[in-house]
Amino acid sequence: MGGVKITDILKKYTMVIALILVVAFFYWKTGGKILLPQNINNLISQNAYVFVLAAGMLLCILTGGNIDLACGSVVCFIGGIGAVIMSKNINVWVAVLVMLVGGILVGIWQGFWIAYVKVPPFIATLAGMYAFRGLSNVVLQGMTVGIGNSTFLNVFGGGAECYVPDLFGKGSLNVTCLLLGIIIAVIYVAFVLKNRISAKTKDYATAPLATEIIKMFIVCAVVIWIFYKLAQYKGIPTSLIWIAVVLVVYGYITSKTTMGRYLYAVGGNEKATKLSGIDPRKVYFFAYVNMGLMSGLAGILTVARACGAQPTFGQGYEMDAIAACFVGGASAYGGEGNVFGVVIGATLMGVINMGMSIMGVEANYQKVVKGLVLLIAIVFDVMSKKQKK
């Protein structure tokens, strides 16, 4: 293998580079405020729902650019159900279970119409968007329902105490948090090395050692740096745990499981997939049931963070999730995209939001900027594909 071309690296990591540039821009414009520990913490907890919904959305988009417009309403509906249950002094875990199962049932409902009746996803989920918004109002009877259960709030990233407790007493630096960051970095390195060694022994092609080391170094540095920053604030927000679990699980599903493979195959060529003995209907159904589950989880995180549910919650969430996927490189035609891209896309949109808020940009203009960023990302994607041909 010869040297890796710079242009190839640029192409592969376009959005990562864009993210770095955007962070640098806001670092300059906000006088460094954007990278304060508190802001990094907020970036994670404010955007937890985006990461979770975008992971679910990615699976739908992979099947052929299909989206779920209903998930914002579903977030509100599920959150509302949970809040009402908890307000009746029923066990918090029962509430959580009901919310997750509720999410799955919503997914089954939408997945059935889309997969088995062949209602176009856009229409089926548009219907869901109206219906579940209405049902949210019904459940909440048009009012705000507060959540006072501290266990629920702490576990799902709401209230003041929603951090993983520090095992080493209360210093100014949260040692547990920093330690976890280092452990994650070590696990990552071990994982990469193990893969490389096994590839070498089996005589498979591997990336040049230098690039791999550089990549490893950068990843470790970023991970440890983030955890260091969090340690300077209050430690690991519990919502980060949920994000991490979702991303790891979905990263695994999309890259290592047969169902993950089918998602890409159906999006790439449905007819060929069908003739290969795979039932595309099951694949669509799986994607949307999953989306329902993720909407349920996002509903939990949303009402926890707000310490209550309101009938207006979740509006526009579906668009944030869709934008994160497309900015993160998922193809609008399906068959292409991955979880790493979604993380970058969601982070990029989150940073832009937060940076502009710190700068005091008016909310209306913030939306204009977000819209333009989405457009530029897609234009770039389309252009780079054209060049390939």
Partner 1 sequence: MAKVLLEMKNITKTFPGVKALDNVNLQVEEGEIHALVGENGAGKSTLMNVLSGVYPYGTYEGDIIYNGEVCQFHKIKDSEQKGIVIIHQELALVPQMSIGENMFLGNERGRKNAINWNETYGEADKYLKMVGLSESSRTLIKEIGTGKQQLVEIAKALAKKAKLLILDEPTSSLNETDSKALLDLMLEFKKQGMTMIIITHKLNEVVYVADKITVVRDGSTIETMNCHEMEINEDRIIKGMVGREITDRFPKRHDVKIGDINMEVKNWTVHHPLYPERKVVDNVHMNVRKGEVVGIYGLMGAGRTELAMSIFGHSYGANISGTLTINGKEVVLKNPREAINAKLAYVTEDRKGNGLVLSNPIRVNTSLANMSGVSNHNIIDVDKEYQVAVEYKEKLKTKTPSVEQNVGNLSGGNQQKVLLAKWMFTDPDILILDEPTRGIDVGAKYEIYCIINDLVAAGKSVIMISSELPEVIGMSDRIYIMNEAKIVGEMNASEATQVNIMASILQSGRSE
Please provide the DSSP assignment of 196-229 as one string. HHHHHHTT-----HHHHHHHHHHHHHHHHHHHHH
Measured between alpha carbons, how far is 256 from 3 in angstroms, rounded to an integer?
A: 29
Whether the Cβ atoms of residue 223 and residue 181 lie closer than 8 Å to each other: yes
- Tokens representing 210 are 């230098």
The H-or-E segment that residue 95 falls in is helix 92-111
Show the site string, 240-269: x = touches partner 1 by CB under 8 A, - = not: ----------------xxxxxx--xx--xx
> Contact at 8 Å (CB) between 85 and 95?
yes
Nearer to partner 1, 144 or 195 (CB): 195
Token duo for residue 293: 């589950």
Q: Which of 116, 130, 191, 204 binds partner 1 (CB under 8 A)?
A: 204
Total residues at the site for partner 1 (CB under 8 A)? 26
CA dist., res. 22 & res. 371, Å (int): 15
Task: Between 235 and 260, name the residue whose CB sits nearer to partner 1.
Answer: 260
Q: Taking a C-beta distance cutoff of 8 angstroms, is the pair 301, 157 a contact?
A: yes
CA distances from 4 to 20, 157, 300, 386 (A): 21, 42, 45, 22
* Using rule CB under 8 A, residue 386 touches partner 1: no
Residue 283 CB, shortest distance to partner 1, in Å, is: 12
Site string for partner 1, 315-344 (x = CB under 8 A): ----------------x---xx--------
Q: Which is nearer to partner 1, 88 or 386 (CB)?
A: 386
Pick the closer one to partner 1 by CB: 220 or 378.
Answer: 378
CB of 245 to partner 1, least distance (A): 18
Pick from 311, 243, 351: nearest CA to 22: 351
- Cβ 208 to partner 1 shortest distance, Å: 15
Looking at beta carbons only, is 117 or 275 nearer to partner 1?
A: 275
Task: Please identify, among the stretches 52-60, 197-205, 243-251, 346-354, the one whose residues bind partner 1 according to the rule CB under 8 A.
Answer: 197-205
Binding mask 266-295 for partner 1 (x = CB under 8 A): --xx-xxxxxxxxx----------------
- What residue ranges bind partner 1 (CB under 8 A)? 198, 202, 204-205, 256-261, 264-265, 268-269, 271-279, 331, 335-336
